[in-house]
Chain A
């Protein structure tokens, strides 16, 4: 192991990082394919989020366990094979639990294997950190991903179908904004969230600058 790679201590930040500061969808823009594709309803969003969390956790734990035994040249290949196996396991598990969810998620269950989040975490974190850190960080990242999916799923389902988790909210006369559950709607809603987040981020930075300016000039 290279002496340059520090195994970091386990802190609350290890967990919270994946949810807010390094949210995989909103900050690092990874895993956008499933984020757009399966968020046409909140139920699908949660199912995909949980499935991805499971694969993320299991594969990263194994990568961390084996991190000292896998030589550098074959590491990507090994990670991918590990991830693919757990995706296959999740695929069968979802089929066994609920055929409806399975049909709704469709091919995107198998596409979890190319979700950049999982490979990215394995390469950047799990291969260098202890198992317990990896567990906490993976759960945090998985929750962050699920939260992001829910943000889109809830908006798209409520506006596009008038229901939430299948429960009708608005009564018979609500005209759903069908665009929201179409592919174009996915793009627009994600763009909307990114705009919102960027707006608040810039506002916070501007305020911090103003405060700094006030302190410096002694106003």
Chain B
């Protein structure tokens, strides 16, 4: 690109001025188009995000009539805004009478290729996770993507133990993925043979999220119930 000395034809105005002028013109056009595109598409992008999240929540809380999103803080709950940090947001599902049917939250952990993102439903009454949906993943087709369809793997999530411990500060038993066929306790996930990395990613994602959110859910359960009425 820059290895030959350009033969400069004689032109009106010095070369540097015309360079700066043309670069300036190009930058103006570019900056303008990008800024316009950004402003114009932002509402649509936010809307798409909202719809995707809502669909994922509905997948794990099929009986919910309405969903409300909250951010759980140390001191209390607050309605979630579009730019709230994803890790502290929960989506509470209420039935027609305003009772909680479940609380959905997101988890994520690194699998083989990239992050594996899940949405799971926590039932405060039994202290267990009863539904898990993989929201986004890029795992190896035919191997890692078995986690979506394999019926034995999905059975892990019918009543996955996620009770808080006595102090209410963490899970009584951390969720852990164990080798295929060695599951003994309700808080273990039986990995898919041949797709260990992805299975472990799901286990880690659920554990990290639940360790953080389950204590907070139980601490603020009264406020969350009240918000439904």
Asked if chains A and B are in direct contact (CB within 8 A), the reply is yes
Question: Can you sample 5 A-B contacts with CB below 8 Å?
Answer: A62-B29, A66-B26, A70-B26, A85-B34, A86-B33
- Bound CA span A72–B15, Å: 10
Shortest A59–chain B CB gap in Å is: 10
- Contact among A74, A86, A95, A176 for B23, CB-based, below 8 A: A74
- Contact among B19, B25, B38, B45 for A73, CB-based, below 8 A: B19
**Are A178's CB and B142's CB within 8 A?**
yes
- Chain A neighbourhood of B42, CB < 8 A: 92
**Are B30's CB and A96's CB within 8 A?**
no
B16-71 contacts to A (CB < 8 Å):
18-19, 21-23, 25-27, 29-31, 33-34, 37-38, 40-42, 44-45, 48-49, 52
A50 within 8 A of B: no
- Contact among A40, A81, A89 for B26, CB-based, below 8 A: A81
- Bound CA span A71–B18, Å: 7
Among B19, B27, B31, B143, the most chain A Cβ lie within 10 Å of the Cβ of B19
**Are B26's CB and A78's CB within 8 A?**
yes
A202 within 8 A of B: no
Known contacts A40-B141, A176-B142, A178-B141: does B41 contact A78 (CB below 8 Å)? no
**Are A72's CB and B34's CB within 8 A?**
no
- Bound CA span A95–B21, Å: 34
Interface size on B, residues (CB 8 A): 33
Contact with B along A88-104 (1 / 0, CB 8 A): 11001101111100010
- Bound CA span A82–B27, Å: 8
From DSSP, what is the main secondary structure of chain A's interface residues? helix
Contact with B along A166-188 (1 / 0, CB 8 A): 00000000001010011000000
Known contacts A71-B15, A182-B140: does B6 contact A85 (CB below 8 Å)? no
- Chain A neighbourhood of B37, CB < 8 A: 88-89, 92-93
Among A40, A89, A93, the most chain B Cβ lie within 10 Å of the Cβ of A89
Chain B minimum-CB-distance residue to A68: B22
**Are A96's CB and B48's CB within 8 A?**
yes
Shortest A47–chain B CB gap in Å is: 15
- Contact among A74, A76, A84 for B22, CB-based, below 8 A: A74
**Are B25's CB and A93's CB within 8 A?**
no
- Chain B neighbourhood of A97, CB < 8 A: 44
- A-B contacts besides A85-B34, A88-B37, 6 pairs, CB < 8 Å: A66-B22, A74-B19, A95-B41, A95-B44, A97-B44, A161-B141
- Bound CA span A65–B26, Å: 11
Interface size, A (range): 20 to 34
A140 within 8 A of B: no
- Chain B neighbourhood of A160, CB < 8 A: 141
- Bound CA span A86–B31, Å: 10
**Are B25's CB and A95's CB within 8 A?**
no
- Contact among B40, B52, B140 for A99, CB-based, below 8 A: B52
- Chain B neighbourhood of A98, CB < 8 A: 48
- Contact among A84, A99, A106, A182 for B30, CB-based, below 8 A: A84
Shortest A75–chain B CB gap in Å is: 9
**Are A181's CB and B6's CB within 8 A?**
no
- Bound CA span A89–B38, Å: 7
- Contact among A72, A78, A84, A99 for B48, CB-based, below 8 A: A99
A69 within 8 A of B: yes
- Chain B neighbourhood of A124, CB < 8 A: none
- Bound CA span A148–B142, Å: 25
**Are B22's CB and A69's CB within 8 A?**
yes
Shortest B164–chain A CB gap in Å is: 33
- Contact among A66, A85, A96 for B25, CB-based, below 8 A: A66
- Chain B neighbourhood of A69, CB < 8 A: 18, 21-22, 25
A77 within 8 A of B: yes
- Bound CA span A85–B28, Å: 11
Shortest B128–chain A CB gap in Å is: 30
B145-193 contacts to A (CB < 8 Å):
none
A108-163 contacts to B (CB < 8 Å):
160-161
B1 within 8 A of A: yes
